[in-house]
Amino acid sequence: MVVLLILGYFAGPFIQWQATEEQLSKNVLLHAIPFILIFVAIILGFISLIWLLASVLNNIVSVEFHRPVEAILIGGIALGIVGMFQPWSFAAYRIGFHVLLASTVGFIVWSHIVPKKLRRRKDVSDVSVSDIASRGTDQLP
């Protein structure tokens, strides 16, 4: 990721130095190389952030905490969409965009965190489909 950021930062001036004006005006890819390198570095950074948070928080966060945070993030996405698509206020559009962006990024990260599993009670036994089928429909509740 760091190597791609450095390459992207120095690729623009290097391409400007090496290429002629005619090559720069006809070849769009020469202008796109620095952007692509920096964009891929940002994506790799986001993937690394998700991996790091998921490895730290997996099976630590309780279900009672995980679900409300997920609901708040989904509500933020809905509010951001409403703010962006209302026709009355440009300020609400701007705020809606930021709320939508933050909620979407937060939801992407939060959806990769697995909540702590609930412990099964010891007095509850396993039941299989064959057990239910062997009892017959007359014994079902």
- Termini Cα distance of the chain: 58
The amino acid sitting at 27 is: N
Q: Give the tokens for residue 94.
A: 């701007």
Most confident of 6-15, 73-82, 122-131: 73-82
Q: Give the tokens for residue 103.
A: 């909620």
With cut-offs at 50, 70 and 90, classify the pLDDT of residue 22: confident
With cut-offs at 50, 70 and 90, classify the pLDDT of residue 99: very high
Q: 0.85 exceeded by the pTM?
A: no
Give Cα separations from 24 to 18, 30, 36, 37, 98 (angstroms). Answer: 10, 7, 16, 18, 35
With cut-offs at 50, 70 and 90, classify the pLDDT of residue 112: very high
pLDDT, greater one: 119 or 52: 52
pLDDT, greater one: 106 or 18: 106
With contact defined as beta carbons under 8 Å apart, do 103 and 77 qualify? yes
**Phi and psi, residue 95, nearest 5°:** -65, -40
